[in-house]
């Protein structure tokens, strides 16, 4: 998700839709977790715009996530360690660890790390413009610690929540720590705020079935499918 023109939430394959000029404007990337579909474009992003920037790209994530990408991606085996290229003093990338519940203010926007429950260390994020908030769960399963935090967000306008599998694959959802429509319905019953709800992370080839099942069971919030190139203003 591109926020304004200088901030990304995750860096999956959708980043490839941006031009070099747009990529060069990105100063901050907030990672929810280390899985490939959320970081795939990060190594190439840094490399592609290195000669167009005069300051490092800051990658925000939990210390655990930063340790994972440092060990397994930016390790000189898969990709160079841009924290020391061209030198430690003029690095192309900078890691900024975030603790759960911590907020980072960038201009008029505040980004806060929210609880998530996944197979690797993970968080969601609240984006607060000062007028309204959008919450992105990232990849997560049933998570009772998430909802009390969200219910305290007085200016909540949008909730983007994942649902990866249709109901007949609930066992797979359980094992992989994702949601299916019946689980989504149980989770949304814990939401006490009014918000527009959008569904992310639908598996290709199963999105129509999954959304049909969501329509049948998800109750008063009437979740809609998150669309490619969708714009949220808040």
Mapped onto helix, strand or coil, the DSSP state of residue 89 is helix
Mean pLDDT along residues 151-165: 98
Mean pLDDT along residues 129-138: 98
Mean pLDDT along residues 207-229: 94
Mapped onto helix, strand or coil, the DSSP state of residue 152 is coil
The mean pLDDT of the chain is 97
* pLDDT of 195 over the 90 cut: yes
Question: Among 133, 93, 94, 95, which Cα is nearest to 112's?
Answer: 133
* pLDDT of 158 over the 90 cut: yes
In percent, the amount of the chain with pLDDT more than 70 equals 100
Q: What is the pLDDT of residues 16-45, one digit of tens each?
A: 999 999 999 999 999 999 999 999 999 999
In DSSP terms, which residues pair with 8 in a beta bridge? 2, 29
Cis peptide before 86 (omega within 30 of 0): yes
Q: What is the pLDDT of residues 203-214, one digit of tens each?
A: 999 999 999 999
Q: How confident is the model at residue 47 (pLDDT cuts 50, 70, 90)?
A: very high
Question: Among 155, 226, 141, 128, which Cα is nearest to 186's?
Answer: 141
* pLDDT of 218 over the 90 cut: no
**How far, in whole angstroms, is CA 15 from its chain's centroid?**
13
In percent, the amount of the chain with pLDDT more than 90 equals 99
Say how far apart CA 177 and CA 169 lie, in whole Å: 12
In DSSP terms, which residues pair with 48 in a beta bridge? none
Using an 8 Å Cβ cutoff, are 70 and 95 in contact?
A: yes
Say how far apart CA 105 and CA 100 lie, in whole Å: 15
Report phi then psi at 132, rounded to 5.
-150, 170
19-24-25-28 Cα dihedral, nearest 10 degrees: 110
Domains and CATH numbers, the chain: 1-98 (3.60.15.10), 99-234 (3.60.15.10)
Say how far apart CA 38 and CA 138 lie, in whole Å: 9
pLDDT given at position 219: 79
* pLDDT of 132 over the 90 cut: yes
Neighbours of 156 (CB within 10 A): 22
Structure tokens at 31: 């990672």
pLDDT given at position 69: 98
């Amino acid at each position: 998700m591109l926020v304004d023109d200088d901030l990304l939430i995750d860096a999956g394959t959708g980043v490839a839709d941006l031009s070099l000029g747009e990529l060069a404007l990105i100063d901050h990337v907030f990672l929810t977790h280390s899985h490939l579909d959320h970081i795939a474009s990060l190594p190439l992003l840094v490399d592609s715009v290195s000669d167009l920037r005069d300051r490092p790209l800051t990658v925000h994530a939990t210390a655990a996530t930063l340790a994972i990408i440092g060990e397994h991606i930016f390790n000189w085996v898969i990709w160079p360690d841009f924290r020391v290229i061209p030198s430690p003093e003029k690095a192309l990338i900078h890691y900024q660890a975030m603790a759960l519940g911590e907020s980072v203010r960038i201009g008029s926007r505040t980004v806060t790390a929210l609880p998530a429950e996944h197979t690797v260390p993970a968080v969601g994020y609240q984006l607060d413009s000062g007028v309204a908030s959008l919450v992105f769960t990232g990849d997560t399963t049933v998570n009772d610690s998430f909802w009390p935090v969200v219910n305290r967000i007085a200016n909540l306008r949008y909730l983007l929540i994942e649902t990866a599998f249709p109901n007949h694959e609930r066992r797979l959802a359980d094992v992989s720590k994702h949601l299916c429509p019946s689980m989504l319905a149980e989770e949304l019953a814990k939401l006490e705020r009014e918000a527009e709800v959008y569904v992310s992370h639908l598996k290709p080839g199963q999105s129509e079935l999954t959304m049909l099942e969501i329509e049948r069971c998800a109750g008063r919030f009437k979740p809609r499918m998150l669309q490619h190139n969708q714009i949220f203003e808040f």
